[in-house]
Amino acid sequence: MSETPTNQLIGRLFYQRSRRVRVILAQLPFFMTVVLAAVLISLLYPKLMGNQHLVTGLVINAVLAVACVVVPWDKLHPASILVIPYLDFIVVAFFREGSQTLLSSVGLLGLFPVFWLCASGIAPKTAIVSSTLASLVIVWISVFRSGQVSGEALAKPLLFPFMMLFFAITVVVITTSMEGQRTSLQAKDKQLRAALAESQHRERLLDAVVDTVGVGVVVVDAQGNDRLMNTTQRAIHDLGRPNNIADPNESELLLFSPDHVALPAQSRPVRRAINGETFTNFQIWIGTGEQARALSTTARMIRDSKNANDGAVIAFHDVTDMVNALSAKDDFVANVSHEFRTPLTAIQGYISMVLEEPDLDPSDVVRFLSIAERNADRLGGLVADLLTTSSITVERSPSDVFQLISDSIASATPAATANDVKVDYQCQEPLIAMVDGVRISQVLDNLISNAIKYSPDGGPLSVRAWADGTDLHAQVADTGLGMSESEQAGMFQKFFRAGTAVGRGIPGIGLGLMISKAIIDTHGGVLSVESQLGLGTTMSIVIPACVLDSELRTLNAEL
């Protein structure tokens, strides 16, 4: 049961006010009615305005009105306000005597205090009795003042007290019923508020749980309208939003199959779920470019009490890292197989030639076996790279960095010629530093070979080395494919392969830069990168406090 608009209005205008305001509002109808009656008497019977009883009634009425305003009713006992209606009976008595019954309806003024007393809810039985007695006193005052007291004279005006009695009983009954309804409504309102608070608490809890999980969750109704979407899913949703659409529906999102083909509307996860399909690990891609993410989607139908379709819950799990890892694994296996196949083929071919041709010239045998040995060494180097970790040790000794660079460039010359890469190097001669020459050569070989390999369209390659005080600086700069910011962030990881390199089919197993960084770190130095996609890459090396001055070089030479 809910409150009617009238009850709500009364509650706002009366019951929710302070006690002082309620007293004023309760007394105001009586006060205004007495004033109106006085105005009528002054117009119709002006001589009566000099009647002492009438004037006394008007004065008491005015005093009571002032008392309603000035008395601090909020600080008094709740029953104290009943003083006003009891005093109203005195006003009615004086006013009735003063008007000499010329206004027949003056006695009905008693209805106001009777209603107030009986509707207050305070001692209802006492209110009925006192209202009846007060009404009886009002009508009997005239009888006793006339001096003609008899049974008949006392009985004639009894209709008015009895009318007041039944009016009082009616008011009490109605008020009690309304109070019961109000109490019931308050109890139900309390229950509803408690249920609402519990519902809101559960909703907040659900929102917190759904927003905490690292899975995108969306709940739709049977028509496909969103009913719930967590924060993760909103971020995923934004990835697939076309630039020209502010709030796209699923059919407008940039969704693709694992083969990166645009998904038709009926094959998209939410549409499939709305159509009643239940599925697990349905893989899609959302978004384009570097922002694209691989998602594994799962859907379950929601059924109502009649087992009809009432919507669906769809979960979107970001599996980009796993997909990339699987792809990297496949690439790694393919690249390792390719890298191993070349030296193995050479080894098998030249050994077979030696075994199958017993009449070969000894010099040819030596040459063929030397080629097989070099390829075996190359194969051993690949295996060593695969087994290399960050726990690399170095043995420092005076090494000429100029000679190390010259040897690395000489080794890379055939590859540079094949890729039409023009190598320019600048380094003071000699440049002696306390470093592990073998390890630094390995780093230079990796950086220079990478720069040539990732410049498939040719271009200049600059290799520089110089001393800044006792700090050794080296730099390898190309104008090749370059890398994006995200690729730069992962380039020193094991088995890392740049997307541009994979796309161009450039061979490699992704270990060179990781090993190079470990070697420079072990020297106490820093290997850093600056790169722009399509513009080239610059790799920089700084090894502090390792360059020997001329006096130290001379001393080492003498030793």
Q: pLDDT at position 1, please? A: 42
Report the amino acid identity of residue 33.
T
* Three-class SS state of 287: coil
Cα dist. 478→451, 456, 457, 460, 483 in Å? 6, 11, 11, 6, 12
For residue 435, what are the β-bridge partners?
397
Q: pLDDT at position 9, please? A: 46
Model-wide pTM > 0.85: no
Long-range contacts of 426-429 (CB under 8 A, 24+ apart): 426/462, 426/463, 426/464, 426/465, 426/466, 427/401, 427/402, 427/463, 427/464, 427/465, 427/466, 428/402, 428/465, 428/466, 428/467, 429/402
Distance CA 495, CA 498 (A): 10
pLDDT tens figures, 124-145: 888 888 888 888 887 787 777 7
Q: pLDDT at position 393, please? A: 77
pLDDT tens figures, 402-457: 998 888 888 778 778 888 888 888 988 889 999 988 888 888 888 888 888 888 88
User: pLDDT below 70 — which residues of the chain?
Assistant: 1-16, 100-105, 146, 328, 331-332, 334-336, 338-339, 341-343, 346, 374-375, 378, 381-382, 384-391, 490, 493-511, 549-559
Q: pLDDT at position 525, please? A: 92
Ordered domains of the chain (ranges, CATH): 5-188 (no CATH), 216-318 (3.30.450.20), 324-387 (1.10.287.130), 397-555 (3.30.565.10)
Rounded to 5°, the CA angle 106-109-114 comes to: 150
H or E element, residue 316? strand 309-318
Q: pLDDT at position 400, please? A: 92
Q: pLDDT at position 59, please? A: 92
Long-range contacts of 175-178 (CB under 8 A, 24+ apart): 175/118, 175/119, 175/121, 175/124, 176/121, 176/124
Cα dist. 514→427, 464, 497, 500 in Å? 25, 21, 11, 18
Q: pLDDT at position 202, please? A: 85
Judging by beta carbons within 10 Å of its beta carbon (0-12, 13-18, 19+), is residue 197 exposed, middle or buried? Answer: exposed
Could you give the maximum distance between any two Cα atoms of the chain, in Å? 169
